[in-house]
Amino acid sequence: MEHHQGGNDQPARRYEFIGGGYSNYRFQAGPPWIRFVVTPEQLEFHARGLNLFRIGPWIVPRSEVKEVFSKRLRRLIPPVIWEVEIVTTDPSVWWTFWSPHDTGPVLLTMEECGYPVDWIPHNWAGMPIE
């Protein structure tokens, strides 16, 4: 049987990651309270667990994503948290997914879905480390 991209018999690409998240003026929740969904059309942040959050999901259309990169938070006490920073066309709005695991799979998935991923590590201020 032959499958065509975008046909009715082709399931939509949808990838999910569990962690935490932050967006100014919208939400902040540590791991494991956020389900981060990546599709070719948009990014979604869903609250999860015991219906503690009755708002959301928060959606970022792909057309508004300007850049994606990761940085590692250094903490005095484990666990280590990695951040996936999502820069939008509106410089006042930042989206962050906090992953309890290395961000490589998240970034690779986002790149495969057409998002502009910068693979150069960034420092705490979001500047590329050279």
Domains of the chain: 15-112 (2.30.29.30)
Residues 28-45: pLDDT tens digits?
888 889 999 999 999 999
How far is it, in rounded angstroms, from Cα 72 to Cα 55?
28
Q: Taking 90 as the threshold, does the pLDDT of residue 5 lie above it?
A: no
Number of other CB atoms surrounding residue 113 within 10 Å: 18
| Closest to 87 measured CA to CA, from 72, 100, 71, 105 | 71
As a whole number, mean pLDDT of residues 95-110 equals: 93
pLDDT of residue 35: 94
More confident: 66 or 77: 66
Q: Three-class SS of residue 63? A: helix
Percent of the chain residues topping a pLDDT of 70: 81
pLDDT of residue 50: 59
As a whole number, mean pLDDT of residues 98-113 equals: 93
As a whole number, mean pLDDT of residues 101-113 equals: 94
